[in-house]
Amino acid sequence: MLVVDNLGISLGQTRALRPLSFSLDAGETLGIVGESGSGKSITALAIMGLLPEVMQASGSILLKGENLLALDESSLCALRGRRMAMIFQEPMTALNPVMTIGRQIAEGLVLHGLMTSEAAASEAVRLIERVGLPEPELRAHSYPHELSGGQRQRAMIAMAISCRPALLIADEPTSALDVTVQAEILALLREIREETGMGMLFISHDLAVISKLANRTLVLYGGAAMEMGETQALLAAPRHPYTRGLIAAIPRGNAHTTPLRPIRGHVPELHGLPDGCPFHGRCLTGTDLCRRSSPAPDVASTTAWCHHLDGGQGA
């Protein structure tokens, strides 16, 4: 359904994303994990055609066979919200404060010519009920500030699924929420995916969250793919040193007996990054080769981009 081929994003001379390819089937969820600046959010924005004007995308993004990067703005507007929708990280600021929840949900339905405004208003109430908000009639007339963070994120989800899009992009949808609310939102997303059969791109910095929802996972670092594969395989037997470091860095067990294992060093600046593997500076197995040239994909239990797959302990 979604085929991303050699998608590259540049900001002037800086490569924000190195050529990246992946695909997504209907009903499937691809998790994209990475730290801030890894390129995961701009990948999502590139698919939606909402990259900041200073950034240029190259390659191709095919949604049901149509190359999104070749479309003009008005064709993209017709697709956005209709065939592909997006949920953002900050439920506090991602809803318009001066518009009622009901109107914000109904807006897309009317905009894409699916319904009259009366029908859309009652559909909005139905959607509010669907995403599990109590007293849907009342909530439809509420303003965002009258809802809690979790409730707002549910409203965002209702808005995103209103036009039954084929592709749903969720950019850190739970990162700003309490842990208990996180679990509820993840359960809701899973339910809706089963019900509608839409494909989902689930973006998070949190491997634990990704593992609850994603069939396959793509690990990004410094604007380049590190490893991609079935989520279970990737978590059980990570092959890339970065993935191993990421998994090892998840806090577990008793804080007194199990020391935290951060990855040494800092995320590099994308500007002026050498051609080689962006992780080489922090990688325990990094060699001169890693600095000079990008590794080719190595397909085994997962696909990994590393020169030294069989050596060392990683980070």
Partner 1 sequence: MTLAVAALVVFWILEVLPGDPAATMLGISATPETIAALRTELGLDQPPVARFLGWITGMFSGQLGISYAYRVPVGGLIAERVAVTLPLAVLALMLASSIGIALGTLAASKANSVIDSVVMGVAQLGLAIPNFWFGLLFVLLFSVTLGWFPSGGFPGWSGGILPAFQALVLPALALALPQSAVLARLTRSSLLETMGEDYIRTARAKGLTRGQTLRRHALRNALVPVLTMMGLQFSFLVAGTIIMENVFALPGLGRLLVQAIGGHDLILIKNLVLLFVGAAVIVNAIVDIAYGYADPRLRVSRP
Give residues in contact with partner 1 (CB under 8 A).
48, 50, 73-74, 77-82, 85-86, 88, 90, 93-99, 107-108, 111-112, 143, 145-146, 156, 159
Complex with partner 1: residue 79 or 273, whichever CB lies closer? 79
Closer to partner 1 by Cβ: residue 143 or 211: 143
Three-state DSSP state, 139 = helix
14: Cβ contacts below 8 Å, ≥ 6 apart: 270, 271, 272
- Closest separation in Å from C-beta 80 to partner 1: 4
Q: Where are the alpha helices (DSSP H) in 201-283?
A: 207-213, 231-236, 241-248
Q: Residue 76 or residue 248: which is nearer to partner 1 going by CB?
A: 76
Compute the least distance from the CB of residue 278 to partner 1, in Å: 27
Per the listing, tokens 């593992």 go with 211
- 130: Cβ contacts below 8 Å, ≥ 6 apart: 158
Q: Which is nearer to partner 1, 73 or 310 (CB)?
A: 73
By beta-carbon proximity to partner 1, the closer residue of 96 and 258 is 96
Contacts of 93 (CB under 8 A, 6+ apart): none
Tell me if 80 sits within 8 A of 167, measured CB to CB. no
Nearer to partner 1, 154 or 239 (CB): 154
CB 138 within 8 A of CB 123: no
For the CA atoms of 181, 183, 187, 193, what is the dihedral angle to 10 degrees? 90
* CA distances from residue 140 to 18, 135, 146, 155, 262 in whole angstroms, order as listed: 43, 9, 11, 9, 45
Q: How many angstroms separate the CA atoms of 235 and 244, rounded?
A: 9
Contact 117, 110 (CB under 8 A): yes
Q: What's the token pair of residue 37? A: 């600046």
Using the minimum distance from each CB to partner 1, give the nearer residue, 21 or 142. 142
| Residue 231 near residue 199 (C-beta atoms within 8 A) | no
Q: Are 84 and 169 in contact (CB under 8 A)?
A: yes
Q: Which residues contact 269 (CB under 8 A, 6 or more apart)?
A: none
Nearer to partner 1, 146 or 191 (CB): 146
Nearest residue (CB) to partner 1, 134 versus 251: 134
Q: For residue 160, which of 216, 91, 87 has the smallest C-alpha distance? A: 87
